[in-house]
Amino acid sequence: MNKLLKILIPILLIPGLILAAGCAKAPEPAVAPAPAPPPAGMAPLPQSASGEAYSGTEQYRTDEGEFDEAGIDRKLVKTGQLTLEVDDVVEAMDDVAEIAGELDGYVVSSNKYESDSRARGRISIRVPAERFDEAFDRLRQIAIDVPRESTESQDVTEEYTDLEAQLRNLEATEAQYLALLEKAETVEDILAVQRELSNVRGQIERTKGRMQYLERTSDMSLIEVSLQETKPLGATGWNASETFKSAVRGLIAFGKVLANIAIWLVIFCPIWIPIIFLIRFLRRRRKAKAQTK
């Protein structure tokens, strides 16, 4: 019996010790997971003027200056060039201006001239960026042929985002200078703060102006259209009407030369008329001497 107790007592004590040790440990508080850091090689965008992190969709910029696609309203400046061959340059310029108006755009500049005995024109228009492709299609329709066309797109998102950050910092600096201006007591302090405040406000205006320019150019795309008249069918480099016009221009130029010579002769007659009379007098005198001999 004693041997049995000696065997059972250790067996019963081991589970009791294990339970006692488990109850003695205090429960550990749950630890909230640390926020995930930004991806390697990327830095968050600048903070706001109050020092708070930029609200809204998180945006990161890489060391190479590229932006994450998530949550970015990209600003693209689109430009296009078209060379159109048309029957009538003046009529085509009117058509281009009409297309710009129908697409909620406007004419920037226009010019008509002649080169190589052919009428040519150049007109620049701006149309909404979302109707850029539509404008290209409609401009092609007014042409007999399109010898050249090209498009270009420039991403100014990075510059615009940097300008936004600069503007926030400048506005925060302006607020600090305004607070200092209220506390300034001496005239020297007031003038110094006003000078710095004027400098900051100038930077704010320049930054806003640049941002507005980027907004306008990204919202309204520029299309430059070059117009030229088509060559007549079967043309061999000779045109009767052009030859006639050239002959008339040559005749007018020859008449101008004769008129210039006549004017010069009239003005210098007090010089050349006495010289002619003197030469004739000497010749007659020489002939008279010869006859006498």
**129 and 219 in contact (C-beta within 8 Å)?**
yes
Listed in sequence order, the DSSP H helices in the chain are: 2-24, 89-102, 132-141, 157-183, 187-219, 240-267, 269-292
pLDDT per residue as tens digits for the range 60-91: 444 334 444 445 678 888 899 999 999 888 89
The values of phi and psi at residue 226, to 5°, are -105, 130
Task: Tell me what pLDDT residue 270 has.
Answer: 86
Tokens of 186: 């001496």
Q: Which of the pair, 22 or 119, is modelled with greater confidence? A: 119
The predicted model gives 48-70 an average pLDDT of 41
Tell me the pLDDT band of 282, cut-offs 50, 70 and 90. Answer: confident
pLDDT per residue as tens digits for the range 158-168: 999 999 999 99
Q: Residue ranges of the domains in the chain? A: 78-153+221-229, 158-218
Angle at 261 between CA 259 and CA 267, to 5 degrees: 105
Distance, CA of 88 to CA of 234 (rounded, Å) = 19
Q: What is the mean pLDDT of the chain?
A: 76
The values of phi and psi at residue 200, to 5°, are -65, -40
Distance, CA of 122 to CA of 138 (rounded, Å) = 17
pTM across the whole model: 0.49
Which DSSP symbol is given to 129? Answer: G
Whose tokens are 């909230």? That residue is 32
Task: Tell me what pLDDT residue 171 has.
Answer: 93
Domain 78-153+221-229 grouped into CATH 3.30.2310: no
Distance, CA of 131 to CA of 136 (rounded, Å) = 9
pLDDT per residue as tens digits for the range 192-236: 999 999 999 999 999 999 999 988 888 889 999 999 988 655 445
Q: What is the CB neighbour count within 10 angstroms for residue 39?
A: 10
- Cα 246–chain centre separation: 43
**98 and 129 in contact (C-beta within 8 Å)?**
no
Distance, CA of 233 to CA of 144 (rounded, Å) = 13
Task: Tell me what pLDDT residue 47 has.
Answer: 42
Task: Tell me what pLDDT residue 185 has.
Answer: 87
Whose tokens are 């510059």? That residue is 159
Distance, CA of 38 to CA of 79 (rounded, Å) = 36
Task: Tell me what pLDDT residue 162 has.
Answer: 92
Distance, CA of 243 to CA of 232 (rounded, Å) = 15
pLDDT per residue as tens digits for the range 96-152: 999 999 999 999 998 988 877 778 899 999 999 999 999 989 999 988 888 999 888
Q: What is the dihedral of CA 44, 216, 122, 101, to 10 degrees?
A: 140
- Of the CA atoms within 13 Å of residue 87, those in its CB half-sphere come to 4
Distance, CA of 250 to CA of 252 (rounded, Å) = 5
The predicted model gives 268-283 an average pLDDT of 85
